[in-house]
Amino acid sequence: MRKMRTLLRFVHCCCCCFLLLLPPPLWVSLAAAKQLLKYRLEGPADIRIGNVASDLGIVTGSGEVTFSLESGSDYLKIDNMTGELSTTERRIDREKLPQCQMIFDENECFLDFEVSVIGPSQSWVDLFEGRVIILDINDNTPTFPSPVLTLTVEENRPVGTLYLLPTATDRDFGRNGIERYELLQEPGGDGGRSVFELQVADTLDGEKQPQLIVKGALDREQRDSYELSLRVRDGGDPARSSQAILRVLITDVNDNSPRFEKSVYEADLAENSSPGTPILQLRATDLDVGVNGQIEYVFGAATESVRRLLRLDETSGWLSVLHRIDREEVNQLRFTVMARDRGQPPKTDKATVVLNIRDENDNVPTIDIRKIGRIPLRDGVASVAEDVLVDTPIALVQVSDRDQGENGVVTCTVVGDVPFQLKPASEGEGEPQNKRKYFLHTSAPLDYEAVRDYNVVIVAVDSGSPSLSSNNSLLVRVGDTNDNPPMFSQAVLEVSFPENNLPGERVATVVATDADSGKNAEITYSLEASPLSSETPGSIFSIDPDSGDVSVQAVLDREQRDTYEFQVTARDKGVPSLQGSTTVVVRVSDRNDNEPRFMQDVFTFYVKENLQPNSPVGMVTVMDFDKGRNAELSLSIQPGDHDQAAGIFSIENDTGTIFSTVSFDREQQTSYTFKVKAVDGGEPPRSATATVSLFVMDENDNAPTVTFPSNSSYTVLPPSSNMRTVVATVVATDADTGLNADLNYSIVGGNPFKLFEIDPASGVVSLVGKLAPKHYGLHRLVVQVNDSGQPPQSTTALLHVFVNESLSNATVVESQVARSLHTPLAQDIAGDPSYELSKQRLSIVIGVVAGIMTVILLILVVVMARYCRSKGKHGYEAGKKDHEDFFTPQQHDKAKKPKKDKKGKKGKQPLYSSIVTVEASKPNGQRYDSVNEKLSDSPGMGRYRSVNGGPGSPDLARHYKSSSPLPTVQLHPQSPTAGKKHQAVQDLPPANTFVGAGDNISIGSDHCSEYSCQPPSPSRPRPRLHPCPGASPAAMLSQPLGRVSPG
């Protein structure tokens, strides 16, 4: 082993000598263990560096010794058997090795490695350190920073002014680094060689610095730029080079400083503005151009907070927000900004910026509630006695807002319906708007019994937009005092209590309440007189002082007294004692202990006859001293002894009004008597009765009835009778009474010569005119009897007076009387009939002339005859049915003579051709000229009522028509004129049968003969006569009038 180590030393010495003889690129130093192995290398990948075994003098080939690379395997590898050291596939580039970036000594760029020599079976191991020094080779071309280099040269610079040019860089170093710079000729010109030249200077660190020197005058106005070519070359072999364009810009001389538009800039900034919000733009101008006119803006004298909160753009001068600004921390920023040009040397200007932070409403008001005075306030609860005076301060409220201006103006109020309000603590003008103090006052009396706790909520609202608000609450606890008297739920307690009670019964229970507690709420009750009454209730009522039960001590009678009123007083046991009272009204309720009572035992009523059915006839009054249902009465009609009221009367239950179901007729019954019964609604029911007497009062519903004379009778009056001779007395009666039966008489027709007059009261007819020969004969006076009722009723009667010395032939007079009964009343029968015969002869002549004219108009006469035969036939034939207008009276034409038959005889007159009805005047004053006109067609005519027959017999003719179809006609063959054709005479009733409406009717008169009469003047009205309904047809036709000669 010792021999081996000695051998190794020897080999090492030999190797050192060998390395000195090797060329520099492959210097390798070999040393023993713990000595440095050095190799120099730079080249492509996977090249041989050296042999470690050889360098260490180790014989290889037997395989006993092996080699292992312990470190540096990134770029190196070793053959385990031969010890051959080489690079890996990764190329070693000196310029890219991190440890060689800033190394300019070629011996300082290296790669360290470790190699272990391993003996057989690793029986021993030697570790050797090695270093591969990386030698530079010219593998990089020098380059300029930019292909175009720009140099700014101020005009008017003196000759010889030197400008440093940008240097080129070469990643190689040493002789492979930059060796020289060259200024090349500009294509197409002198390239500025006459103005500029290149000078290369060596710097202290061994670098080469190109410099441009001004050789001539520079005038920017003549030429503002030059372009030159600058080339750089290294010292490698072969050499590498590159070039760039050198652009020389001639600029103005920086002889003007920037100028701000304003010396002071002031702006408002809303607090909490988001970052990036622009605030204002600072503007400065420079009269220079180019770099000298390029302005950059920078902060001048500015605090750290300004630089932290604001950002200033160097180019545009815009000042913006960098971080949010809180006005409550910083309310104003004041700083300076500098405007600096880029001239050499730069010139500057400065401006002051004042930035006012405008408040935003970002803080809610705060409310602080504290105690004030002697009123305790703890944990938000204030204890206040209920008897404190109104407007007493109970707490101090302080309201503040960190904002300012309107945002800090706070309005504070108490919300809710609570008896508290806020009032300013001071009225000083110097008090800040955003910090105020208030007193919380009571605004109304406090009542522990009403409300024991108040939650007073105070709300503060600032005046910002939108406004912010906050609230705080205070619990006010009201302390109790004895301030409430006992109270009744009702000021007046009404109680209903039945009469006829038992003494000692409970009437009601009154209860009072006291809002206080303890002794103050213990109540006792007592009775006192009502303020409106001096009566002491103790004699009738009593009360339990503890329970308030009110009892009655006497028997009550509602009919004697229905109401009792007294006072109940409730007193508490507080000191001093408080009291309250209520009025108790006891209303005695009714029991059915009284029967109904009529106001009269007998009720007497008077009612007019002919009252419409279902009309009230009287009213009874009944009462019941009870009340309610006990006094609800039911009325009914009870029949009398003779059952007079059965079905005739009814009574209305509510009003006691009695109604009749029929119309009364005094002439049939003058009075009624019945009973009315009243039954109440009690249990059991009670009743009472009263007698009702009803008397029927008379109405003028009956016309007078003439009892004397009859229409068919007559009276003989001698012509020698003196004035005021009583001719006859008309006697009439009336079924009515009183004024309705007070009669008056008048002559309304048949008195053309005014020979007669009648006493209106007695009915005595007297002669008042002097009789003359022309007055001889039959006079028919039409007498009208009127009663004094309203409206009056009337009856018309006929009084026949025969003026003659004696009655030689009664049959002739009776015949004339009978004829007069068939003569219309409008025609007067008065005087000598011979006067009328002469008139009749003239009428015959006129009739003959009329007959001749009738032959000429034969066709017309035939038609008219047929018509008249069916409509106007006046004769009566036995056994033939009456025509509708059989008894219609016709007017005689006195100018026309009676038509004779074939034997020269006169034609027969119809038996009833002279019977007419009396019509009243027309409403407009005209007169009825035709006897054929009917009174019923005139609206102005009064209605006629029959005495007994009613409307069934409207006139005498219809009365006859309604009789038996067989006429009662008597023929007298013993008459002196029996040989001739007999005259048919209708018998008239002996009684007076003509009834009128009671109007004063003026009737004209005609001087009549036996067969014809003078017609009345056209100006006179013709009254209509109606047959008396009291006379039957048999009676009217029973009395013959005698025979009549044709004369």
DSSP state string for 880-916: SPPPTTTT------TTSPPPB-TTSPBPPPPTTTT--
pLDDT at 1043: 32
Nearest residue to 197 via CA among 209, 217, 211: 211
C-alpha distances in angstroms, 828 versus 66, 824, 874, 1001, 1045?
202, 8, 21, 14, 21
Q: What is the pTM of this model?
A: 0.35
Q: What are phi and psi of 273, to 5 degrees?
A: -65, 140
Which residues are 785's β-sheet partners? 745, 795
User: Hey, how many other C-beta atoms are within 10 angstroms of the C-beta on 1024?
Assistant: 30
In this predicted structure, what is the pLDDT of residue 840? 64
* Sheet hosting strand 348-358, strand order edge to edge: 264-270, 348-358, 332-341, 295-299
Tokens of residue 662, six digits = 């029929």
Nearest to 725 by CA among 768, 681, 683: 768
pLDDT of res. 786: 94
What are 88's two structure tokens? Answer: 């890996």
Cα–Cα distance, 697 to 608 (Å, whole number): 5
* 726 membership: H or E segment, kind and range: strand 726-729
Q: What is the pLDDT of residue 847?
A: 79
Return d(Cα 953, Cα 1028) in angstroms, integer: 8
| Nearest-angstrom CA–CA distance, 872 and 883 | 9
| pLDDT at residue 349, as a whole number | 92
- How far separated are the first and last CA of the chain, in Å rounded? 230
Distance between CA atoms of 17 and 13, rounded to whole angstroms?
6
Q: How far apart are CA 727 and CA 747, in angstroms?
A: 13
Residue 15: predicted pLDDT: 34
The answer to whether 151 and 212 have CB atoms below 8 angstroms apart is yes
pLDDT at 91: 80
Cβ proximity of 437 and 425 under 8 Å: yes
CA distance 709 to 692: 45
What is the C-alpha to C-alpha distance for residues 310 and 308, in angstroms, rounded to an integer? 6
CA distance linking residue 81 with residue 146, whole number of Å: 53
Domains in the chain with CATH codes: 37-134 (2.60.40.60), 148-251 (2.60.40.60), 259-358 (2.60.40.60), 366-479 (2.60.40.60), 487-589 (2.60.40.60), 597-697 (2.60.40.60), 706-836 (2.60.40.60)
Using H for helix, E for strand and C for coil, what is the string for 1020-1043?
CCCCCCEECCCCCHHHHCCCCCCC
Which pLDDT value is given to residue 352? Answer: 93
Q: Which residues contact 925 (CB under 8 A, 6 or more apart)?
A: none
The C-alpha R_g of the chain, in whole angstroms, comes to 82
The per-residue pLDDT for 744 is 94
Q: Which residue has the tokens 């800033």?
A: 102
Q: Which residues contact 307 (CB under 8 A, 6 or more apart)?
A: 299
Q: Exposure of 943 by Cβ count < 10 A (0-12 exposed, 13-18 middle, 19+ buried)?
A: exposed
CA distance 260 to 273: 26
Tell which residue, 714, 956, 969, 708, has the closest CA to residue 817. 714
Task: Give the pairing type, strands 84-87 and 148-154.
Answer: unpaired
Question: What residues are paired with 140 via a beta bridge?
Answer: none
Q: Which two tokens stand for residue 321?
A: 């927000």
Residue 983 burial (10 A CB sphere; 0-12, 13-18, 19+): buried
pLDDT at 190: 56
- Pairing mode of beta strands 714-717, 794-803: parallel
CA angle 875, 881, 886 (to 5 degrees): 40
- Residue 587: CB partners within 8 Å, gap ≥ 6? 494, 495, 496, 497, 562, 563
* Cβ–Cβ < 8 Å for 408, 450: no
pLDDT value of position 264:
93
Long-range contacts, stretch 74-79, CB < 8 angstroms, 24+ apart: 75/111, 76/49, 76/111, 76/113, 76/132, 78/52, 78/115
CA distances from 46 to 90, 111, 301 (A): 8, 16, 64
Looking at residue 157, its pLDDT comes to: 84
Q: How far apart are the C-alpha atoms of 567 and 578, rounded to whole Å?
A: 16
Say which residue the tokens 């018509």 belong to: 867
pLDDT of residue 326: 85
Report the distance separating Cα 1040 and Cα 974, nearest Å.
Answer: 14
CA separation for the pair 996, 988 (Å, rounded): 18
What angle do the packed helices 858-871 and 834-856 form, to 10 degrees?
A: 120
If DSSP codes are grouped into helix, strand and coil, which group holds residue 933? Answer: coil
Please say whether the beta carbons of 291 and 252 come within 8 A.
no
Tell me the C-alpha distance between 223 and 978, whole Å.
190
How confident is the model at residue 188, as a pLDDT? 58
Strands 381-385 and 469-479, bridge-based pairing? parallel
Q: Which residues, other chains included, contact 157 with Cβ-Cβ below 8 Å and sequence gap of 6+? A: 214, 218
Structure confidence at residue 90 (pLDDT): 81
pLDDT recorded at residue 1014: 41
pLDDT profile of the chain (1047 residues), mean per 10:
40 34 33 48 75 84 85 86 86 78 69 88 87 82 91 85 89 82 71 80 85 86 84 88 90 83 91 90 87 88 87 92 87 91 88 89 88 90 89 92 84 91 79 83 88 91 87 89 86 89 90 84 89 77 91 88 90 87 89 88 91 90 87 83 72 90 86 90 90 89 90 90 91 90 91 91 92 88 92 92 86 88 87 62 76 80 74 44 38 41 39 30 38 34 34 34 34 36 34 39 38 39 38 33 32
CA angle 775, 779, 780 (to 5 degrees): 160
What pLDDT does 428 receive?
A: 62
The encoded tokens of residue 389 equal: 């005076």
709 prior amide bond cis, ω within 30: yes
Contact present, 725 and 753 (Cβ < 8 Å): no
- Residue 61: half-sphere exposure toward Cβ, Cα within 13 Å: 3
Distance of CA 905 to the CA centre of its chain: 105
